[in-house]
Amino acid sequence: MTAIIYGVGATATNKNSIFWKTLEQTGGKELKIVAFTDSQEKYWGTKVFDLPVVSPLELRSLEYDKIIVASVMSYSVIEEYCVNTLGIPREKIDTSYVSSSTVTRDRFLRDFAKIVYDKNIKGSVAEGGVCEGIFAKKINEHFPDRTLYLFDTFEGFDARDTELEKAKGFSAFDAGHLKLDTATEEAVRKTLPHPEKAIIRKGYFPDSAGTVNDRFVFVNLDFDLYNPTLAGLEFFRPLMVKGGVILVHDFFNPGYSGVKIALDEFCEKHNAAYMPIGDEISVALLI
């Protein structure tokens, strides 16, 4: 069976990732990867593991048995794009290697929101590292009456962070990684079911937090990198209400190893504890 991998981010380019381990366990020697593809034009014509990265438009003419989606956050968007824009049969698109973790995280958020409302716990909500706003939409949906703070550069990774990442061997991404045409303040606001509740802060975190002095019941940290993750923990922890949760994404992602190091350093310093939520990628810091 031949396949094309859709996505060339940390999930797809790190052979130690959960994605590859699961793929190898289930696909084994019967699966042959023939190419990669990605929505970002800058990757077209490059190679990943000596395999070509092609434009998604080429998927219309190439021969393959299925497309395996390797983007945890955007798998549903990619699937709809392949079906509705490229005309690829839905049965040829496999999102199973990434969708299960997202579904688990969404359920965690839904169930935690139920507890918050049942116990009448006050507090605003926030996300650091918004990208296209896919999880921000879920936060806004499950906390419809809460102020939602969204922090992102909307310009991809900042050079101040990527330089440290490379020096420490945490990750190898360049400044500007994850700068997407679909990841803008305007685009994110349009995805939200209750946009009037959102306060979007564009810029380098924690500078972008400015004079924010609210209280929080739920925060999702998805900065991917050591510096902003540690800054997010230090900034939000004193502002959390009792019973609140800080969710830290990519803790189990070896492609972003700085996230785990930042959280472990923070917990040792503040005598704090965290626990996995079952999505194989995130942990929850309990307050």
Rounded percentage of the chain residues whose pLDDT exceeds 90: 77
Alpha helical stretches, state H, 119-225:
134-142, 159-168, 185-191
Cβ–Cβ under 8 Å, residues 258 and 162:
no
Strand partners, 6: 37, 69
**Per-residue pLDDT averaged across 131-149, rounded?**
96
pLDDT higher than threshold 80 for residue 27: no
Cβ–Cβ under 8 Å, residues 80 and 71:
no
Name the residue with tokens 């924690």. 206
Q: How far is CA 114 from CA 109, 111, 117, 143, 146, in A?
A: 9, 5, 5, 9, 14
CB burial of residue 236 (10 Å; 0-12, 13-18, 19+) = buried
Mean pLDDT of the chain: 93
Q: Which pTM value belongs to this model?
A: 0.86
- Measured CA to CA, the distance from residue 267 to residue 113 in angstroms comes to 24
Helix (H) or strand (E) holding 109: helix 96-118
**Which pLDDT score, from 0 to 100, does residue 28 have?**
64
**Residue 283: both structure tokens together:** 């942990």
Confidence of residue 263 (pLDDT cuts 50, 70, 90): very high
Checking DSSP bridges between strand 124-128 and strand 93-94, what pairing results, if any? Answer: unpaired
Residues 55-101: pLDDT tens digits? 999 999 999 999 999 988 788 889 999 999 999 999 999 999 888 88
Lowest mean pLDDT among 135-144, 224-233, 250-259: 250-259
